Chain A
Amino acid sequence: MIKFEHMKNLKQYSFIVGGAAGQGSRRAGLLIAKMFNQLGYYVYIYDDYQSLIRGGHNFSQITVSEKKDPIRQKKIDFLLALDKKTIEKHRANLKKNGLLFFNSNKIKEKGIGIPADDILKKCNGLPIMANTSLLAGLVKGLGISFDLFQKTLLEDLSKEKEKNLQIAKLTYEQTVFPKNGIKINKVKNNPGLLMTGNEATAEGMAKAGLNIYFAYPMTPASGILHYLAQNQKKLGLLAIQLENEIAVASEAIGSAFAGQRSAVGTSGGGFALMVETISLAAQAEITFLVINSQRMGPATGVPTYGAQSDLLFTLHPGHGDFEKFIALPSNAEESFFWAGKLLNLAWKYQTPAILLTDKDVSEGTFSIEKKILDQVKKEKEIIWDKKGEYKRYKIVKNGISPLAYPGEAKVVVKANSYEHYEDGISVEEDKKAIQAMQEKRLLKFKAMQKQAEALPAVKIFGNKKSKICVIAWGSTVLSVKGAVENLGLKLVQPLLASPFPKKQIEKALAGAKQIICVETNSTGQMAWLLEANGIKVDKKILKYDSELFFAEELEKKLKKYI
């Protein structure tokens, strides 16, 4: 087994909680994560499920660590099985001294059997409450105090609190702490909040002044819609579901025209339907933020599993020449920061912005440091100074024509998808005017390029002196971090794909003898983007079976090249 040298003396544990769809494995995993968050550990949850409502096999892998950004590994310390299939699927990855928890009334196995059905019967509980019993057994088996479990459980439950608590108590009392057990202790960190990438995205947008979010349901972006719908009162915004993604995008353009900050969210298939509106946003200079959370395509593809195969599509949606902002978050903190930043940038430059995320970032659960929440605020757009006659597309030095919104007295705001004069009226054949308006937008794109270089568009991890540079983006960063730290390599993570932060990337790669690009797609789309910008990629490590890389697996692959 590969040792994680940097983890020496640091505590890191990995759990899998599995069951059939509808059995509540995700919720049980989240409760474990919440307890470890309280105990001072950083958390990362990977959720695995299929496109079905009942049955199948769902599981959550919860990695908790004293070190920031826990790295998911193949080998696990604890397995909590809500059904038999979970044991069959994951037993092989349980470490030699790992512990298996299961319902001994249903399954005959070696390990820590919890007679959950007996306990339920005694307490007159419902079948779904077996989770509470199994969790209570696990908590005892880890030497975690009942008080912490009780607090976490009660916070999570909306009904049947008493009964669940009774079941938990009885199980906790009956379960014996195992002889070879590991007692979990509190550590000193203050890892902050737990959020999925989708929740962080929603919060980031809200912080940057989002007024209306429009969406049509699509995995893995739906979590943003659900979170905003639940929290719209608290956040002071609207979350609206419409008839399709075309309506979603067009309605966002309408609300943005009327002065409300608007955003939409979807995955590849829905993004394809929004493309005409992205082109309109560029031409009419009415902006919106699009969240595109990738899943494995083409077409319906593998709808509940991830891939990074929409980078090139996202770089070039919409007909015509125009520039856009595209950011590539790899966790909840970056989702929060870039969702907010992009909404501000979209309004500042009146151009579309796209947060290109993916299934494992969107639906993964991460620790997020509270101080990150102060890094986003609403930045004001450029508003008309009320001098002279208002012209929506006034040609100005930086190409950003000041905004006014319909409803303002003595102002006529005319926006247009046709090429237009400064006042917004369509141009039929005036070649000079056509060229002048395109050049106005080019000025803006130049300013955007400059802006990109001023943003924190590249992060470097690992051995900063290494001549071997690994490039990774989005969810892949999570696993690459672990591998490069072990091997003493350098990791360069681009966070902006457009405008391409060429200077920052070149600086990060300066002195590199070998550049290796790691992606979860079959053609190397980031490698293509780098090469299009004159950066030669020596090797590509690609995975396209819909699963994320494991750090162990990557380490083996990288070793071949060094």
Chain B
Amino acid sequence: MEKQKNNLETQCPNTWCPGCGNFGILSAFKLAIDELITQGWKKEKIVVVGDIGCNSKIADYLNLNSLIGLHGRSVTTAEGIKLANSDLKVFVFIGDGALLDEGISHLIHAAKRNSNINVILHNNRLFALTTGQFTALSPEGYKGVSTPWGSVEEPLNLIKLMIASRASFIARGYSAKIESLKKIIIQASLHEGFSFVEILQPCVSFYNNIQFYNEKIYELENNDVKSESVALDLANQWDYDEAGKIPLGIIYKKQRPIFEQEIYKQIA
């Protein structure tokens, strides 16, 4: 099989729930890596940083260098890896609870300093592994084990947050659209600077919104990725609630000085 050629799989048994959106993310990532290796990337230069949660098991399932660290901290750990060896291609796989609850400050600062890492968010809009508590991206009124009468908090608009944090690459994909997700991951990987990819990932056990997403999503075409105001309009199309349409694809992309390069320049 084509995708086996780079020996990207481990013997570790997969423990995700049948039908979990994470399978789509894993497939898309492996396809993207195969393609990048074909383009000349070296497998040994790739590092996967796993957080804690269902998503981070991806590190166990990939026969690539990996570090599974602490909940919410994988963005900073990845920045450390990149600063230590800028030849490495670093990918963070993280959930919405870790990224936007436990470790939100790290996300904002990594985007602000334009660290040349790729952050891939498995957005299932709740804490799954701890059985379904709300996160900063859960919709208002979300009923989980810790909010039996519904969450009284409105979710963050993540794309707006990333624009405000000066992220230099912002994209959104969907775990059920593997081919387009693969393309987004490749684009993110090739972007020089901080890349942020939000992946809508239905949680079949606690928050199955496949139907909702299938009705709401559309693929972006010919949008001006260099325009911050266009990006803001796209961010406003969906406020993580019931209304609006959900754009998929590259939302914003800008070339900015890269943190690691600037730091080494100073001491050269």
Residues of A bordering B, CB below 8 Å? 211-212, 214, 232-233, 238, 240, 242-244, 246-247, 250-260, 262, 276-277, 280, 284, 286, 405-418, 424-426, 428
Contacts and interface: CB of A to CB of B under 8 A. Distances in A.
Residue of A211, A255, A260 with highest tally of chain B CB at under 10 A: A255
Contacts of A250: 69-70, 73, 76-77, 80, 106
A80 to B, nearest CB: 39
B70 A280 contact: yes
6 contacts: A250-B76, A251-B77, A254-B82, A407-B85, A413-B66, A414-B67
Q: Identify the 9 closest CB pairs spanning chains A and B, nearest first.
A: A254-B80, A258-B84, A251-B80, A255-B84, A406-B65, A254-B77, A260-B84, A255-B80, A250-B76
A316 to B, nearest CB: 19
Contacts of A252: 80
Interface residues of B, number: 40
A205 to B, nearest CB: 16
B44 A258 contact: no
B239 interface: no
Interface stretch (B56-64, B198-206, B217-225, B240-248): B56-64
Given A238-B263, A277-B73, 13 more contacts: A240-B83, A242-B76, A247-B109, A250-B77, A251-B83, A253-B69, A254-B76, A254-B82, A407-B87, A412-B64, A414-B66, A417-B69, A426-B68
Contact of B66 (A405, A411, A415): A415
B34 interface: no
A424 B79 CA distance: 21
A411 B52 CA distance: 24
Contacts of B12: 425-426
Contact of A253 (B44, B60, B77, B267): B77
Contacts, number: 141
A257 B80 contact: yes
A258 B109 CA distance: 21
B67 A284 contact: yes
B256 interface: no
Contacts of A286: 67
Nearest to B69: A417
A551 B231 CA distance: 68
Given A242-B109, A255-B83, A412 B73 contact: no
A243 B68 contact: no
A212 B83 CA distance: 9
A426 B12 CA distance: 8
Given A406-B47, A407-B45, A259 B84 contact: yes
Given A276-B70, A407-B45, A258 B88 contact: yes
A238 B84 CA distance: 10
B4 interface: no
Residue of B45, B105, B267 with highest tally of chain A CB at under 10 A: B267
B83 A233 contact: no
A259 B86 CA distance: 12
B144 to A, nearest CB: 25
B232 interface: no
A256 B12 CA distance: 26
A232 B267 contact: yes
A428 B15 contact: yes
B42 interface: yes
Residue of A250, A410, A413, A428 with highest tally of chain B CB at under 10 A: A250
B109 A416 contact: no
Contacts of B88: 258, 406-407
A238 B66 contact: no
A414 B87 CA distance: 18
A233 B45 contact: no
Residue of B11, B66, B87 with highest tally of chain A CB at under 10 A: B66
A214 B79 CA distance: 12
A416 B76 contact: no
Nearest to A409: B44
Contacts of A259: 84-85
Residue of B60, B63, B76 with highest tally of chain A CB at under 10 A: B76
A409 B80 contact: no
A238 B263 CA distance: 8
Residue of B11, B49, B66, B69 with highest tally of chain A CB at under 10 A: B69
Given A212-B83, A232-B267, A406-B81, A254 B67 contact: yes
A214 B44 CA distance: 26
Contacts of B99: none
Contact of A251 (B64, B67, B70, B79): B79
B65 A247 contact: no
Contacts of A240: 83, 263
Contact of B81 (A233, A255, A284, A425): A255
A409 B42 CA distance: 8
A254 B106 CA distance: 14
B80 A238 contact: no
A247 B80 CA distance: 9
B65 to A, nearest CB: 4
A259 B88 CA distance: 12
B70 to A, nearest CB: 5
A402 B15 CA distance: 30
Contact of B105 (A238, A243, A277): A243
Contacts of B52: 417
A284 to B, nearest CB: 7
Contacts of B76: 242, 246-247, 250-251, 254
